[in-house]
């Protein structure tokens, strides 16, 4: 038998979990003279479609066993897949074994991601049964030997493969470029699958454990290997700047949620850019953080973000009230901003938004009247975040990663649990209940502002934000300048301690009435004394809120 031996009928092995397009693919292969080998459910569907199918068990001489756990793991299958047909010794070996080459393989894997969504977290058996064994082996073997085997792991590629086979007139003459492309896709398929399994099981089995030194403390077990699996969703227009290329990817390990930014429905305007997504992420993160039941009388949230920092954040008894309060925090910076609401946008809010230039507007939905009004601006993009309810889910991100040269940083990310009933009042003046409520709101905002960060709050709305400064006192100056007269009587939130009293001096000059900060400076007493001199109430929380 030689590589070009035309007396041997070419064979194709089809064994797929995702059966989309498999019947048409098989029919196309039959028309090209291929013998179809198959297993279990795939073979049954092909036979029901009128195709003649050779069962893999007739090739291996061994029945499927253990409820189909073992069916293709046999030398009669893998020897033809791994034989190098351009080598005489491999061809002779196949002849001696009595095997014919398999030149086309269509295999995709069990839907472990879907199983992980619905499987009982306390019961592993159902989920473990969705770990494919034979499938990845077939895919990897075929991809490894792609010079002689065409591997189709994605049903969307079936038409391309049939076209290539028709043009080449022979499986062995299909261009190497396409073979490599399909092999890479196959390796991506198995790598994504293995990564998903490892990450899901890590979260289930090792995600949290009780620290024996403190039974009330839950310690995160970080994985020994950081496995990142993401599929390309689209190419973006450009990166942060026009000379940079960019793309957006969907995290394959976040399949349990459909209301993510990447899966959001985008309508109107130009395509989303790299910067749009980065700013939208910051906006959505803060909106989720405030979308809790802590403020039952003001359930509506509006966040306005510019260049990754909030310039306005507010709660309101109504959506329009929340928007107007957030806009008033810094109406100048709101031009060309990203805005997020935690509930569907209504007509009166849309009317109020009409004059403002907005890059992106996000919400769990838009009423028909609101959408009609908002879409009158051609360049305005609306992002609908799918939600099981009409309200955004609270922030639930557990582990976040940050690339650095040569590796990654990994950390937990969750809102700090600050019990204000246990926070230390450092000054003679004690804060009022209303001020403490403003502090509770303010720390949630402050944790999402780039450091050094100062946030001024009136009620449950920001009135001035000083983000991302190398000097804390400069952050105070910016926040108070933006607040203007609204700084009088406001509550100031600092993401870290005051290293000097100059920040308190600036706050007092602007009329700040209360301060909440972590404390912990060697000059804390100097800072406390300065606050006492001005009659400012100050609380130490012990929680730093840096965001770099």
For strands 381-384 and 265-267, give the pairing. Answer: antiparallel
d(C-alpha 505, C-alpha 63), whole Å: 83
Instruction: Name 332's Cβ contacts closer than 8 Å, sequence gap at least 6.
Output: none
Contact 493, 359 (CB under 8 A): no
Of the listed ranges 365-369, 412-416, 477-481, 512-516, the one predicted with least confidence: 412-416
Query: Is residue 251 very low, low, confident or very high in pLDDT (cuts 50, 70, 90)?
Result: confident
Asked if the model's pLDDT at residue 213 lies above 50, the reply is no
Of the listed ranges 99-113, 423-437, 497-511, the one predicted with least confidence: 99-113
Among residues 13, 176, 172, 151, the alpha carbon closest in space to that of 86 is found at 172
Q: Identify the residue whose tokens are 């909440």.
A: 516
Phi, psi dihedral angles at 199 (to 5 degrees): -70, -40
Q: What is the mean pLDDT of residues 157-161?
A: 95
d(C-alpha 548, C-alpha 541), whole Å: 20
Which residues, listed in sequence order, are joined to residue 408 by a DSSP beta bridge? 403
Instruction: Sort 93 into a burial class: Cβ within 10 Å, 0-12 / 13-18 / 19+.
Output: middle
Q: What is the pLDDT of residues 340-386, one digit of tens each?
A: 999 999 999 999 999 999 999 999 999 999 999 999 888 889 999 98
Q: What is the pLDDT of residues 56-101, one digit of tens each?
A: 777 776 666 666 666 667 777 878 888 888 888 888 888 888 888 8
The predicted structure's pLDDT at residue 1: 37
Among residues 447, 444, 492, 452, the alpha carbon closest in space to that of 468 is found at 452
- Give the angle subtended at the CA of 506 by the CAs of 505 and 510, to the nearest 5°: 115
> Could you tell me which residue, 122 or 329, shows the higher pLDDT?
329
Q: What is the mean pLDDT of residues 423-438?
A: 95
Contact 486, 458 (CB under 8 A): yes
Structure token pair of residue 56:
């893999």
Asked if the model's pLDDT at residue 435 lies above 80, the reply is yes
d(C-alpha 143, C-alpha 184), whole Å: 7
d(C-alpha 362, C-alpha 345), whole Å: 9
Residues with active-site annotation: 144, 307
70 three-class SS: strand
Among residues 460, 458, 476, 459, the alpha carbon closest in space to that of 517 is found at 476
4 three-class SS: coil
Structure token pair of residue 364:
């769990």
Following DSSP, what letter does each residue of 350-381 receive, concatenated? HHHHTTS-EEEEEES-B-HHHHHHHTTSTT-E
Q: What is the pLDDT of residues 165-178, one digit of tens each?
A: 999 888 889 999 99
Q: Which domains does the chain have, with CATH numbers?
A: 11-199 (3.40.50.1380), 259-415 (3.40.140.20), 424-540 (3.40.140.20)
The predicted structure's pLDDT at residue 472: 94
Instruction: Sort 155 into a burial class: Cβ within 10 Å, 0-12 / 13-18 / 19+.
Output: middle
> Is the Cα torsion angle 33, 35, 40, 46 positive or negative in sign?
positive
- DSSP structural state of residue 212: T
Phi, psi dihedral angles at 378 (to 5 degrees): -65, -35
d(C-alpha 503, C-alpha 527), whole Å: 9
> What integer best gives the mean pLDDT of the chain?
87
Q: Give the C-alpha distances (Å, rounded to integers) separating 208 from 91, 217, 334.
A: 53, 10, 40
d(C-alpha 202, C-alpha 230), whole Å: 17
How many percent of the chain have pLDDT more than 90?
Answer: 61
d(C-alpha 462, C-alpha 312), whole Å: 6
Of the listed ranges 335-339, 396-400, 438-442, the one predicted with least confidence: 396-400
């Amino acid at each position: 038998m030689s590589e070009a031996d035309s007396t041997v009928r070419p064979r194709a092995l089809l064994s797929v979990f995702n059966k989309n397009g498999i019947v048409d693919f098989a029919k196309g292969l039959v028309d090209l003279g291929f013998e179809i080998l198959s297993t279990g459910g795939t073979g049954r569907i092909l036979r029901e479609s009128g195709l003649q199918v050779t069962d893999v068990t007739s090739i291996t001489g061994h029945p499927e066993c253990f409820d189909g756990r073992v069916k293709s793991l046999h030398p009669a299958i893998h020897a033809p897949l791994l034989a190098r047909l351009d080598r005489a010794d491999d061809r002779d070996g196949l002849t001696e074994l009595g095997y014919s080459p398999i030149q086309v393989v269509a295999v995709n894997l069990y839907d472990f991601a879907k199983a992980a969504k619905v499987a009982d977290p306390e019961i592993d058996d159902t989920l473990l049964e969705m770990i494919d064994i034979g499938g990845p082996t077939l895919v990897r073997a075929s991809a490894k030997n792609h010079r002689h085997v065409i591997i189709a792991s994605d049903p969307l590629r079936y038409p391309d493969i049939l076209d290539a086979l028709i043009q080449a007139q022979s499986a062995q003459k299909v261009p190497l470029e396409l073979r490599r492309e399909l092999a890479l896709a196959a390796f991506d398929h198995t790598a994504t699958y293995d990564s998903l399994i490892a990450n899901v099981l890590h979260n289930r089995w090792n995600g949290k454990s009780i620290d024996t030194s403190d039974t009330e403390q839950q310690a995160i077990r970080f994985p020994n290997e950081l496995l990142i699996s993401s599929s390309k969703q689209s190419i973006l227009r450009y990166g942060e700047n026009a000379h940079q290329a960019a793309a957006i990817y969907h995290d394959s390990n976040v399949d349990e949620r459909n209301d993510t930014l990447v899966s959001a429905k985008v309508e109107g305007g130009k395509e989303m850019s790299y910067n749009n997504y980065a700013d939208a992420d910051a906006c959505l993160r803060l909106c989720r953080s405030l979308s809790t039941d802590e403020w039952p009388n003001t359930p509506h949230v509006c966040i306005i973000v510019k260049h990754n920092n909030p310039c306005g954040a507010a709660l309101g008894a109504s959506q329009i009230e929340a928007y107007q309060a957030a806009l008033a925090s810094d109406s100048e910076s709101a031009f060309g901003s990203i805005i997020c609401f935690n509930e569907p946008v209504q007509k009166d809010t849309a009317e109020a938004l009409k004059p403002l230039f907005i890059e992106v507007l996000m919400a769990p939905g838009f009423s028909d009247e609101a959408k009609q009004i908002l879409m009158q601006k051609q360049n305005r993009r609306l992002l609908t975040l799918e939600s099981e309810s009409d309200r955004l889910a609270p922030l639930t991100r557990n582990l976040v990663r940050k690339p650095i040269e040569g590796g990654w940083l990994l950390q937990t990310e969750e809102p700090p649990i600050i019990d204000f009933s246990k926070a230390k009042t450092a000054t003679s003046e004690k804060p009022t209940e209303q001020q403490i409520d403003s502090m509770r709101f303010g720390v949630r905002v402050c944790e999402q502002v780039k450091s050094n960060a100062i946030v001024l709050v009136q009620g449950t709305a920001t009135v001035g934000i000083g983000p991302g400064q190398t000097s804390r006192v400069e952050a105070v100056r910016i926040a108070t300048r933006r607040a203007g007269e609204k700084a009088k009587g406001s509550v100031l939130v600092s993401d870290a301690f005051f290293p000097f009293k100059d920040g308190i001096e600036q706050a007092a000059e602007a009329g700040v009435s209360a301060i909440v900060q972590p404390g912990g400076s060697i000059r804390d007493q100097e800072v406390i004394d300065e606050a006492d001199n001005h009659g400012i109430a100050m609380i130490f929380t012990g929680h730093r809120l840096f965001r770099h």
